[in-house]
Every structure is written in C-alpha cells, then in structure tokens.
Amino acid sequence: MTGGAGFIGRHLIPLLGSATIVDTVPRGPDTVVTDISLPSSQEALDRAAKGKSAIFHLAANPEVRVGDPELHLSVGAFGTLRVLEAARKADVGKLIFASSSVVYGEASLQPTPEDYPTSPISSYGAAKLAAEALISAYASYYGMQAVSLRLANVVGGDAPRGVLRDFMTKLRANPRELQILGDGTQTKSYFHVDDCAAGFYQAINWGARGKNSVFNLGAQDALDVLSIARITAQEMGIDSQKVKLVLAGGPDGRGWMGDIKYAWLSIEKAKGAGWRPKFPTSEQAIRQALREMLKGST
C-alpha cells in the first residue's frame, strides 16, 4: 500500500489485517520508507510488491491548493508509473487507486456519473487523470484488474487538514468571527473516512481483468460552505447566529485558484456493487467528523 501512513490508509489497514506500507514516513515495522516521486524508489517498490496479490495506491501530494504541476505529477504520474512497473514485475493481479472527483472539473451534470467527460482545472486534478490513464494502459497490456475510485471530500476526526479543521481552529481562536475562503456558496459532497476505507476494501472484488474500472465514492448529497460553518459552530457549542461570517472572496468566488465550486458525485454504481455509506448525507458525515475531532482534543 502506497501512502499507507496517510489519513485514508490509517483507516484501511485495520480492514486488511496486515499490509506492507510504502510511505515517506514510518508507520510500524512493515513500512518501506521511500518517496515514490523519485526514480531511486523503484527498487524499494519492487521489493514491496513481491508476493502481493493486490496493491492499494493512495500516495499523492496532499497540497491540492498548490498549482505546481511538477510537484503533483512527480507523485501522481511518475510515482504511479513506478508503482505499476513494480506490479508488472511481481505479477500483481489487482490495483486499487485513490483518484478524485476533481478529474471531472466543473461538471454541468450533478450528481456526476462516472461516464461524464473529464476536464480537470488544476494540476492536482491533471495528475490524478494522468495516473488513471497509465493505470488503464497497464491493465490492458498486462491483464491487471484495476479500479480507480474517484473520491468526494473525505472527512474524519484525524484528518490533518481540510475545511472542518480550519473552521474549528479559527473558532477556537475567536468564537465571534469566522473567515471563510471564497464567497461561501461553494457546494460539495463530503463523506466519512470510515465509509471511504470500506469502499477501498470492497473494491478488491470490483471491476474486471484487463481494464481500469471507475467508481465514484461520496455522499448522497452536497453541502455549501456556509452551512458547514454553522454546523461547526453548533457542534462546538457556539451559537451559530452570533458568529459573524466574513467572506474572504477569491478567484470567481472560489476558495483558491483551481478550486471547483460545485461538486456532487453520483454513487449509484458503487451502491450497485454493494457499497453503502454508514453516514449517507454530507451533514451526517461532517457532524460525525467534528465530534471525533472534539473528542480527540479533550
């Protein structure tokens, strides 16, 4: 598993029972410490892949706001190529990849199904789509069973970054005022990390040999940023009506350049394969994540 020391990986490992983790930071005795963005990582990846029946490829540069194409492509494209080469050499039959909803770009059809045209508007999204293309080619060439999971926004109590942690930090510093990036109308789908990990685990049995099968994972709805701000205040025991919401603005009302304002994925295909989120709505997932954060900080 690449990126196994990260947010999603930490929740997936208990479902697997055991796994060899490839990451830039150690996480127990089964960790292979290497940076897949570097060509020198190939030997370590080759060793880690030997004898494995499946690879979960979760590694990515997490700084989605950074518009540096080389930074994202070094892991997303070239790192994925090295993972695929390791899988080919070791004759690994299955690969499950952590893709993203951002590959669709600004979709006019929402909820967005898997067959909607892809048109990313950020270097992060471009790197995810490049990785999917490489995976598709390798699956076809070498008869691999590959699954790319296009993820909505994943939330949870131990998430190291994201809108919930940002809002909570700001409200702790000043419970009377909250600055919000963008114009506040940004509306996206949010789902809990436990539901995400369950999707990865179940995806081992999805798809078919010789192709890259694509599935969306997310919530059954979407939620705007202003609502998330109010929910965060409520969960913290703050009267949300007394919090002054300050809109910081941004390019075209976005939080940052390359940010997609409206993103809501259709999850009917994954549900048809047997996946069911425990927290089906974005609000349920967000409230659960906030409660976990608050419990962890007491």
Q: Where do the structural domains in the chain lie, given as residue ranges?
A: 7-158+189-219+262-278
Look at residue 298 in the predicted model and tell me its pLDDT: 42
Look at residue 65 in the predicted model and tell me its pLDDT: 64
Which segments in the chain show pLDDT lower than 70?
Answer: 64-67, 297-298
Q: In 236-256, which positions are buried (b, 16+ CB within 10 angstroms) versus exposed (e)?
A: bebebeebeeeeeebeeebbe
pLDDT tens profile 177-194? 999 988 889 999 999 999
- The pTM for the full model equals 0.94
Q: Distance between CA 21 and CA 257 in Å, rounded?
A: 33
Q: What is the CATH number of domain 7-158+189-219+262-278?
A: 3.40.50.720
Strands 145-151 and 211-217: parallel
End-to-end CA distance of the chain: give it in Å, rounded.
32
Look at residue 28 in the predicted model and tell me its pLDDT: 76
Specify which residues 151 forms β-bridges with.
Answer: 100, 217
- Taking Cα atoms as reference points, which of 58, 57, 64 lies closest to residue 94? 57
